[in-house]
Amino acid sequence: MKKIIDDIFYVGVDDLKLDLFEGQFAIPDGISYNSYLIVDEKVAVIDSIDAKFGDEWLANLEEVLEGRSPDYLIVQHMEPDHSSSIRKFTEKYPEAQVVGNQKTFVMLGEYFGAGFPANQLAVKEGETLSFGKHSLRFIFAPMVHWPEVMFSYDAATRTLFSADAFGKFGALSKREKNWEDEARRYYFGIVGKYGAQVKGVLLKVGSLDIDRIAPLHGPVLEGKKLTTAVHHYKKWAAYAPETDGVLIACSSIYGHTREGAEYLAAQLEKRGQKVKLIDLIRDDWAECIAQAFRFPKLVVAATTYNGEIFPAARNFLTGLAERNYQWRTVGFIENGTWAPVCARQMRAKLEDCKNLVFTEAAVKIRSALSEQSRAEIDALAEELSRNG
């Protein structure tokens, strides 16, 4: 098993079989369920893993423990990808205390039956549990990503165990291209709605000396990678764009709406704008959502379908609204042969989002691009190119 530092070991497992994480996020490179072990005068395990890999996880523990038994299982997060092996653990190590907070134990009772586990140790915000040289201070992180979530900080090694925060898609055995792409897709897919709470916990841990962050998915972050990750998290939590330019999110049935989107891209580029065009039908949904948060400006191009927004665009807008999409400029291109009405509906989807500016220029394509719709796209490009 991999030693992280001093007495801290990685005992998690890669999942390369699962197709959809949380039943909806494609994970072509798998995912890791991380678990850590502190071997000191007392032994503490930090989080269990998905039940499908419970035996493998317990074998990893045994390999490091060489006959010792854990004294504590720290439960930072109750989502089943981290908690569903807890019963297996308590059956094997009935003497170990299960450490959580009040909310953790309510959820443990819901998943495993009232009164489970027998050996509970409830901690409060800011409390510290000592194991010898090492200790863990518990920092509550409600809604990052569930209400019971807590981070744990070991001052001896300056290690922050951050639960889901700072996690990413991708198994550890897979070669990582860069940290941020799959971390961004994971963040906005899973935690994006809770920017205020992420900001809150970043403030709480801001005064700590941190040499490494050990999340529940993805690699342990140290050095340059740690700096990059914190930089991105501050931006993402504040809903701040990462780059200039315009994202054009297009869904086209026969290619005419796409033609309008491409014409807009060309007009924007002519005016010096950086442009990214994505296909809402074929591109990964979570990646489309993540891209929308990268850019300060968005144009959604869609067809009216059954008197509604074409499904791919509807799902995209629903996903943005659910994730508190905000502080952006948004425009629309609608298409329809006899009753184009979806621009109004698309705007309505985002009506409750805070701090959005909708463009004055509106584009209505009647079946295919015309002189009229080209002129409307020119006006939209002009408006989006003003002020940067």
Least Å distance between CB 164 and ligand FEO? 4
* DSSP at 192: G
Least Å distance between CB 216 and ligand FEO? 5
**Cα separation of 51 and 55, whole Å?**
8
The smaller minimum CB distance to ligand FEO, of residues 82 and 314, is found at 82
C-beta atoms surrounding 246 within 10 Å: 24
Least Å distance between CB 22 and ligand FEO? 8
Contact 245, 299 (CB under 8 A): no
Least Å distance between CB 198 and ligand FEO? 13
The smaller minimum CB distance to ligand FEO, of residues 138 and 194, is found at 194
Least Å distance between CB 39 and ligand FEO? 24
375 three-state secondary structure: helix
The smaller minimum CB distance to ligand FEO, of residues 151 and 332, is found at 151
The smaller minimum CB distance to ligand FEO, of residues 237 and 369, is found at 237
Least Å distance between CB 197 and ligand FEO? 13
Least Å distance between CB 257 and ligand FEO? 36
C-beta atoms surrounding 190 within 10 Å: 22
Contact 51, 167 (CB under 8 A): no
Least Å distance between CB 82 and ligand FEO? 6
**Cα separation of 193 and 316, whole Å?**
14
282 contacts: CB under 8 Å, gap ≥ 6: none
Q: Which residue is nearest to ligand FEO (CB)?
A: 79
The smaller minimum CB distance to ligand FEO, of residues 79 and 334, is found at 79
The smaller minimum CB distance to ligand FEO, of residues 50 and 376, is found at 50
Phi–psi pair at 156, nearest 5 degrees: -60, -35
The smaller minimum CB distance to ligand FEO, of residues 216 and 250, is found at 216
**Cα separation of 298 and 228, whole Å?**
25
Contact 164, 191 (CB under 8 A): yes
The residue type at 199: K
Q: What is the CA radius of gyration of the chain?
A: 24
Point out which residues bind ligand FEO (CB under 6 A).
77, 79, 81-82, 145, 164, 216-217
317 three-state secondary structure: helix
The smaller minimum CB distance to ligand FEO, of residues 144 and 264, is found at 144
Q: Are strands 297-305 and 328-336 parallel, antiparallel or unpaired?
A: parallel
**Residue recorded with tokens 């549990």:** 129
68 contacts: CB under 8 Å, gap ≥ 6: 39, 43
Q: Residue 103: in which H helix or E strand, if any?
A: helix 102-112
The smaller minimum CB distance to ligand FEO, of residues 49 and 299, is found at 49
Least Å distance between CB 105 and ligand FEO? 18
